[in-house]
């Protein structure tokens, strides 16, 4: 008989604290309020941000707004089929200034390298992250609970 080994999540309380601190950032707040249909920031994509923070190897106090958006952009790269909506993140970061986008992509690559290319996050790990503080308001950002958009067919 083979026993299933329980994996211990590498996510520490400090990673949740860094995430919570960044949720108070005015630009992040404005972005989350703007994303009403949760195309870019549903609860699973936001849980991936915490997972990526745990893998990137920075101290919790080192995480800044840019890290939040790098992680969220990467989560969208990994999970979403429609890649166009994530371009809207640039407006919140840089306004109409397109000259910063190449730097963002350079930082994104550095962020991925700091995680040693470990970008896939299991459903189990996402649920563990959410279970750390199950009453957190961010976990109510559930895309499946939204009414479907006009002209779409429900499965």
pLDDT value of position 11: 86
Kindly calculate the radius of gyration of the chain based on its CA atoms and give it in whole angstroms. Answer: 16
Residue 7 has pLDDT above 90, yes or no: no
Predicted model pTM = 0.88
Residue 152 has pLDDT above 90, yes or no: no
Please answer whether residues 37 and 149 qualify as being in contact, where contact means their C-beta atoms are separated by less than 8 angstroms: yes
Confidence tier at 150 by pLDDT (50, 70, 90):
very low
In whole angstroms, what is the distance from residue 15 CA to residue 146 CA? 28
Task: Work out the angle at residue 91's Cα, subtended by the Cα atoms of residues 119 and 151, and round it to the nearest 5 degrees.
Answer: 80
Portion of the chain with pLDDT greater than 90, in percent: 77
pLDDT tens-place string over residues 103-139: 999 999 999 999 999 999 999 999 999 999 999 999 9
The residues, ordered by sequence, that sit 6+ positions from 144 with a Cβ below 8 Å of its Cβ are none
Residue 155 has pLDDT above 50, yes or no: no
Confidence tier at 83 by pLDDT (50, 70, 90):
confident
Please answer whether residues 68 and 26 qualify as being in contact, where contact means their C-beta atoms are separated by less than 8 angstroms: no
Rounded (10°) CA dihedral 87, 89, 91, 94 = -110
pLDDT value of position 9: 62
Confidence tier at 2 by pLDDT (50, 70, 90):
low
């Amino acid at each position: 008989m083979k026993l299933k080994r329980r994996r211990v999540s590498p996510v520490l309380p400090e990673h949740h604290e860094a995430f919570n601190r960044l949720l108070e950032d005015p630009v992040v707040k404005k972005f989350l309020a703007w994303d009403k249909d949760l195309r870019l920031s549903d609860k699973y994509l936001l849980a991936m941000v915490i997972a990526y923070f745990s893998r990137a190897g920075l101290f919790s106090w080192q995480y800044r707004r840019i890290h939040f958006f790098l992680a969220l952009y990467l989560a969208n790269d990994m999970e979403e089929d429609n890649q166009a909506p994530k371009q809207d993140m640039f407006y919140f970061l840089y306004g109409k200034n397109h000259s910063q986008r190449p730097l963002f992509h350079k930082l994104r690559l550095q962020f991925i390298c700091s995680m040693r290319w470990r970008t896939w996050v299991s459903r189990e790990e996402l649920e563990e992250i959410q279970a750390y503080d199950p009453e957190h308001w961010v976990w109510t950002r559930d895309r499946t609970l939204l009414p479907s958009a006009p002209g779409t067919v429900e499965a």
